[in-house]
Chains A and B, each alone.
Chain A
Amino acid sequence: MLSLETLVLLQGGFSLSADLTVAPGRIVALLGPSGAGKSTLLDTIAGFLAPDRGRVLWQGTDLGPFAPGDRPLSVLFQDNNLFPHLTAAQNVGLGLRPGLRLDRDQTRAVETALDRVGLAGLGARKPAALSGGQRGRVALARMLLRNRPLMLLDEPFAALGPALKAGMLDLLADLAHETGATVLFVTHDPADARAIADQTILVAEGHAHPPRATADLLADPPPALRAYLG
């Protein structure tokens, strides 16, 4: 279970508060207008930013002292999710060992992960030789291998076309169900939330609201969400 305990983030005139929990195994969307602090919240959970007040807890443990790489989570950014000088297989292998010295079993595991995301035989290619969708799949394969219980996604598929993006979200949902991971993904599109998110956290007007069932929230939006949806 992920808990955000009386969290407050400040920056200049910007402030965001959050006091909520996310049940394990759920796929949860962070929905709200741009500039509301969705990415900032994700960065804080991932450990790139330190909160001004409050704590981030996983299964009751304060994550504060842990560096990003030591937290029980994987994260995908908006861009630069792959090292351009490494092959797809090497990029995936980083999920197993950050030093990339893989034994035979681990090399096989990388191939299996690439198979799973539909990239069989493309392991030797560098990112420049892959399409945008294929690059997203490489990043997902690395997440699969890292096998951390919490997956954070900061709109990594935003640059893809609608059909490709829907396909990537479906793949993400499948992988999450297979591994039992909890997923938090940022989106500004209610359709994304409706497609795969059991629950949605509304981030608007300086506050991250506790998660609600996505269908309920969208059927009966509070004023802040109604203003955003138009």
Chain B
Amino acid sequence: MARRAQPLGAATGLGLGAAALALALGLGTIAAVALRAEGPARLGAADLAAVRFTLLQALASAALSTLLAVPVARALARRRFPGRGVLITLLGAPFILPVIVAVMGLLAVFGRSGLLSAALAPLGLGPVDIYGPGGVVLAHVFFNLPLATRLVLQGWLAIPAERFRLAAALGFGPAERFAHIERPMLREVLPGAFLVVFLICLTSFAVALTLGGGPRATTVELAIYQAFRFDFDLGRAAWLALIQVGLSVIAALSAFAIAVPGAFGPGLGRPVAQLGTDGRWLRLQDAAWLTLATLFLILPLAMVALRGLPGLAGLPPSVYAAALRSLAVALGSAALTLALALPMAIAIDRLKGLRGRAVQAAGTLTIAASPLVMGTGLFILLFPLADPRLLALPVTATVNAAMSLPFALRALMPAVAEAERSHGRLADSLGMTGGARLRLMLMPRLRRPVGFTLGLSAALSMGDLGVIALFSDPGHATLPLQLYGLMAAYRMESAAGAALLLLVLSLGLFWIFDRGGRTHAEP
């Protein structure tokens, strides 16, 4: 007997359309770039250096992030202390933090006139300088150490408590516990975590733009931007874009070979009671790691707030205009993300089988895509049709939505499946289809993931400094681009104020939407 084939509803059709659009954004733009890149590659030594630096900085960032994540995650897994929940929540924050805001914060702590340099000066050391390769890696570790910690923490919490009880019963010390319990888990979890961070750092643009540059610290993404923006060499930009795609594809293919853990998995709440870890030395060690990690996360953000407050009052009008443009882009991008992700999630649930997986693949594809490549492709496609500057904001919102799509699907898919599983047959039996089904059955059950999706995509778009840099001129900048302009012009007080404004707007957007989804949500 077969599950009765349900007629393909309008939602499924919309979902297929959305998947086609995602494919067009992911692959179509690459095709546009590839067509433009005809003729022999005119790549110089600088371009090869960019490829080398891209790989090396991604390797270093991924290695440092995952290695440092191990002691921090272990301390979080086995210690109870006030503020533990807040700290775990905080580990999720860098994901929605605008890159340029974090860079401002890192400069305030680690820069030439930062806290660290000031602390070293009396000792006759310093000042430290983080412009260059070191700064790029530092910023990447700032963003990805929390992510890696969450991934490794999931591994720790997945170890059955009996295993630790047995270890205590057998009188294991730290070395034996590591060899027999922790190392096997880490061998499973670390490669995936390493790869996730490596993939993220591979398409690094904003960090390289602000902290890198020059022959020693230019990523391929940055080289695309420079070829496009300064040399207006579309052919070279296209070749570089293809190289970027190649790098991403190779890394993404290895991701299929290595199981990549989910970053938003539930259940990071409970600490594992681990007998035999009460020694004073181990406790001190854990406390030290947690303190360092917390300071590393909090200090830069605190500095953004501290240095930004004085500048907030005297912000030039252009900053507020840019903030309004950014809000419009963020809200548009959030709406577009939901408009793409919701029908796709419904279609994935309804189609099941191969076609469902194809829709899912189309939606996940953009995780390995490079926004700059997408932007270059869209520029090539749109250049003959309209003035790209007029399209700067809509294109930015669209590319941002494409980049948020994998995370949106990840939040929505399980919720749609659960709603259909529990109440789909009831809705079927009552003939609830189309709009009535969406309004009365699905949406009330999806408030939380929809709120999360809108919040996440709005915050990501609000803080994005990528495609907009390709297209825009100073008169039509978004807030992150405006902030970058202020930094480049050494108007540090205005920049600090704008950074605080951007931070508040990004986190605020996420908070409002996510909160809206939680209140009055059904159990």
Measured in the bound complex, the distance between the Cα atoms of B124 and A25 in whole Å is: 99
What mask results when residues 488 to 523 of chain B are scored 1 for a CB within 8 Å of chain A, else 0? 000000000000000000000000000000000011
What mask results when residues 454 to 496 of chain B are scored 1 for a CB within 8 Å of chain A, else 0? 0000000000000000000000000000000000000000000
Q: Which residues of A contact B3 (CB under 8 A)?
A: 48-50
Measured in the bound complex, the distance between the Cα atoms of B169 and A7 in whole Å is: 61
Shortest CB–CB separation between residue A149 and chain B, in angstroms? Answer: 15
* A224 interface contact, C-beta 8 A: no
> Which of chain B's residues has its CB closest to A40's CB?
B1
* B423 interface contact, C-beta 8 A: yes
Shortest CB–CB separation between residue B468 and chain A, in angstroms? Answer: 40
What mask results when residues 403 to 446 of chain B are scored 1 for a CB within 8 Å of chain A, else 0? 00000000000000000001101111111110111011100110
> Which of chain B's residues has its CB closest to A90's CB?
B440
Measured in the bound complex, the distance between the Cα atoms of B2 and A68 in whole Å is: 14
**B426, A80: Cβ atoms under 8 Å?**
yes
* A75 interface contact, C-beta 8 A: yes
**A77, B425: Cβ atoms under 8 Å?**
yes
Interface centre among A9, A51, A69, A70 (most CB of B within 10 A): A69
* A3 interface contact, C-beta 8 A: no
* B7 interface contact, C-beta 8 A: yes
Measured in the bound complex, the distance between the Cα atoms of B396 and A27 in whole Å is: 64
**B430, A44: Cβ atoms under 8 Å?**
no
**A11, B1: Cβ atoms under 8 Å?**
yes
Q: Which residues of A contact B4 (CB under 8 A)?
A: 47-50, 68
**B423, A83: Cβ atoms under 8 Å?**
yes
Which A63-96 residues have C-beta < 8 A from chain B? Answer: 67-70, 74-75, 77, 80-86, 94-95
* A115 interface contact, C-beta 8 A: no
Shortest CB–CB separation between residue A97 and chain B, in angstroms? Answer: 8
Measured in the bound complex, the distance between the Cα atoms of B2 and A47 in whole Å is: 11
Which B1-57 residues have C-beta < 8 A from chain A? Answer: 1-7
Measured in the bound complex, the distance between the Cα atoms of B520 and A85 in whole Å is: 10
* A80 with B423, Cβ < 8 A, contacts A68-B428, A69-B433 known: yes
* A69 with B440, Cβ < 8 A, contacts A10-B1, A49-B2, A49-B4 known: no
**A70, B431: Cβ atoms under 8 Å?**
yes
Shortest CB–CB separation between residue B7 and chain A, in angstroms? Answer: 7
**A67, B440: Cβ atoms under 8 Å?**
no
Shortest CB–CB separation between residue B325 and chain A, in angstroms? Answer: 37
Which A134-154 residues have C-beta < 8 A from chain B? Answer: 146
**A95, B1: Cβ atoms under 8 Å?**
no
Q: Which residues of A contact B5 (CB under 8 A)?
A: 50
Q: Which residues of A contact B439 (CB under 8 A)?
A: 99
Count the B residues whose beta carbon is within 8 Å of the partner chain — how many? Answer: 28
Q: Which residues of B contact A95 (CB under 8 A)?
A: 430
* A170 interface contact, C-beta 8 A: no
Q: Which residues of B contact A176 (CB under 8 A)?
A: none
**A52, B1: Cβ atoms under 8 Å?**
yes
**A67, B426: Cβ atoms under 8 Å?**
no
* A69 with B426, Cβ < 8 A, contacts A99-B435, A128-B523 known: no
> Which of chain B's residues has its CB closest to A81's CB?
B426
Q: Which residues of A contact B425 (CB under 8 A)?
A: 48, 68, 77, 80
> Which of chain A's residues has its CB closest to B423's CB?
A80
Pick the contact of B433 from A46, A47, A84, A98 — CB < 8 Å? A98
Which A48-64 residues have C-beta < 8 A from chain B? Answer: 48-52
Q: Which residues of B contact A99 (CB under 8 A)?
A: 432, 435-436, 439-440
Measured in the bound complex, the distance between the Cα atoms of B436 and A67 in whole Å is: 16
* A100 interface contact, C-beta 8 A: yes
**B440, A100: Cβ atoms under 8 Å?**
yes
Q: Which residues of B contact A100 (CB under 8 A)?
A: 436, 440
Pick the contact of B1 from A9, A81, A98 — CB < 8 Å? A9
Known contacts A68-B429, A128-B523, A146-B430; 10 additional CB pairs below 8 A are: A50-B5, A51-B1, A67-B7, A68-B431, A69-B428, A69-B431, A69-B432, A77-B426, A83-B444, A98-B430
Measuring CB to CB, which residues of chain B are less than 8 angstroms from any residue of chain A?
1-7, 422-423, 425-433, 435-437, 439-441, 444-445, 522-523
What would 29 A/B residue contacts be, using CB atoms closer than 8 Å? A10-B1, A11-B1, A47-B428, A48-B3, A49-B4, A50-B2, A50-B3, A68-B4, A68-B428, A69-B428, A69-B431, A74-B429, A75-B429, A77-B425, A77-B426, A80-B422, A83-B423, A83-B426, A83-B440, A83-B444, A84-B522, A84-B523, A85-B444, A86-B440, A94-B430, A98-B427, A98-B430, A98-B437, A100-B436
